[in-house]
Amino acid sequence: MNVIANSAVEWYFACHITDVPHNGGVCVKVEDTQIALFHFAHRDEWFASDNECPHRKQMAISRGMLGSHHGEPKVACPFHKKTFSLTDGRCLNSEEGLSIRTYPVKVEEGKVFINIAALNQPFTSTIQTDAYEDQTD
């Protein structure tokens, strides 16, 4: 019902623009999957990507911090600070070839839509090991 058929691509209604914090993200439920949606207000841009971080398979990218790397917009996973380009999804700070999928976003009349056509295409991301956590109270 939420899916709007649009000749070649599918635009999914995610939420209203006011639902997304400035320079931050939210998680959108798309049937059984989760997509991270970001309003990068400082650049006046919207981005969407997988919510799952390929590093440790954590559903957390939407809670990540936004930033830029030599001008390229990126998001940092809150778990171990792997950063991913919001333009093409490649990991910017590991050599393991990790990546996430990114999705086009459009805003119309205060509503945000995500193009989920890429969801149906096969995709694999590499996994790596090793982690550091500081848990002391």
Q: State the residues that interact with ligand FES by CB under 6 A.
A: 53, 55-56, 58, 77, 79-80, 82
Give the 3-state secondary structure of residue 63: helix
Of the residues 49, 50, 66, 116, which one makes contact with other proteins according to CB under 8 A: 66
125 contacts: CB under 8 Å, gap ≥ 6: 54, 98, 99, 100
**Partner in contact with 92, chosen from other proteins, ligand FES, none, beta carbon below 5 to 8 Å by kind:** none
Structure tokens that stand for 28 in this block: 């959108």
Residue 116 DSSP label: -
Closest CA to 35 of 18, 10, 6: 10
Segment 82 to 101, residues that bind other proteins, using CB under 8 A:
83
User: What is the contact surface with other proteins in residues (CB under 8 A)?
Assistant: 14-15, 19-29, 34, 37, 40-43, 52, 56-60, 63-71, 73-74, 76, 78-79, 81, 83, 129-131, 134, 136-137
